[in-house]
A and B are shown apart, each in its own frame.
Chain A
Amino acid sequence: MSTFLVILHGLLAVALLGSITHQAVAVVWPARNKVGFVNAYRSVSSRVYVNANIAMFLVVAALGAYIYPIYRVWVRTYMENARLYPAVGSFEIKEQFIAIGLGLLPLYWLVWRRPEPAGQSARVAVTLILCFIVWFAFIVGHILNNIRGFFGL
């Protein structure tokens, strides 16, 4: 069951990664036409991603929180015994970033709900911060999930 949940956690994280990256690119580097793949990628309506991103962030975080005890008891102990301290530290940082991301979600919802020019910089900033958090968490999670292969253990 835990293996299934880890895989589901990873698959949903991939969906969130794609969705929030697409939104971040569209808000930072918008395009006025859809000629070609790059322009088409940049020209999407950023607003339509908001609710899906919030829902996916919550579901991925909740799944991560549910399977976290397995990591804490078995995986982290294993990595500490193997003296893989940077890997443990990376997960510690990931854990803090996810928590900060959860606190940012209400603001993310608010700045995208109101199209006021006053909120434009906040819209860009919050989207980029959440995008960074999701990328960081994904990369760390992916490396830890494959830690034995990466380090030949």
Chain B
Amino acid sequence: MPPLARRNLFHDKVRLTVTLTGIVFAVVLIVVELGLFVGFTTTTSGLVDHSGADLWVASKNVPYIEQGVAFSERRLNQVRAIPGVGEAEKYIAHWTQWKRPDGSEESVQIVGFNVDSNVGRPWNLVQGRTEDLKTPDAIIVDELYKQKLGVTRVGEVFEIHGRRARVVGFTRGIRSFTTSPYVFTSFKNAQDFVGLREDQTYFLLVKLTPGADLEKVRRAIGGQVKDVEVLTSHEFSRMTRIYWMFTTGAGVAVLLAAVLGLIVGFVVVAQTIYATTMDHLREFGTLKAMGAANSYVYKVIIQQAAMSAVIGYVLGMAVSSFVVRASQHGGAAILMPWQMAVGMFFLTLTMCIGAALVSINKVTRLDPAIVFKG
């Protein structure tokens, strides 16, 4: 087959530029909006997802991690006594106030965990060690929030809930979905920072022994420890995500933006591909007059759309990758997991071919007698 589709695409450089710009714009728009949605969603449950725990023991009806209700730490021993429990540790995630050097206050979220355990620890440490948190006033914050908290370097001293707090390290990229940054510290420090009684905790994190049955252990804890709810990390993560993304309405706005991005992207692509097809309408009329079956004409149009999609996708992803990388230094993360990148390829292809199908409808109804007009 003579390379009609390829030539049609590359012949008019201005039209090609317009078409590809439309597709690239759509790809970037969709990636950014979906990436923001994924970024926000992932951020909301970051603490749960990175906790390393298999089960979370919380007070009854706790809807999400930030809404923990204190309960007696005596339940820790009850949990540890249950077969299949390899490790169980107290855990705090709770809001409190941070005093900046200039005297102003910021809301922060204290994350307290047992420094000697393997659960609930901070991740992506770029300065300092988790073990440094063993000292009474030690804290670790994320470098994203240095400016917000007035932190410039390790060793600086601040005030949290009227108590001394000393920065011993920094993490990178641990965002909070709310405006309150996470402050990692030892469980003991956390009790002081949030004003929790010594015999209380907000959560218990449970890690199972190798080979233990998750559901069995969960049922056992639920049956033997009173007034608690036992959630798998997956469940608690989902609950937290759903709360922030849908119950609060915050995520709905992001989701709506993502859906709008999809729609706008599709419309832009549809319009560009449609215009490209319309530019060649007379040629398609000639093809039909020459005796080409509709399927032959469709093939040309779809080939043209598919080529546009592939080039537009490659360029769009290059721009998107740049935007995603740049966003890592900002407060709102745009995430592009590989599944999204792959999905985006098929989405771009579908959008372009779908848009081509819209124009095919026009070509199908095209009167071949158009060839006799002028």
Tell whether A pairs with B.
Answer: no
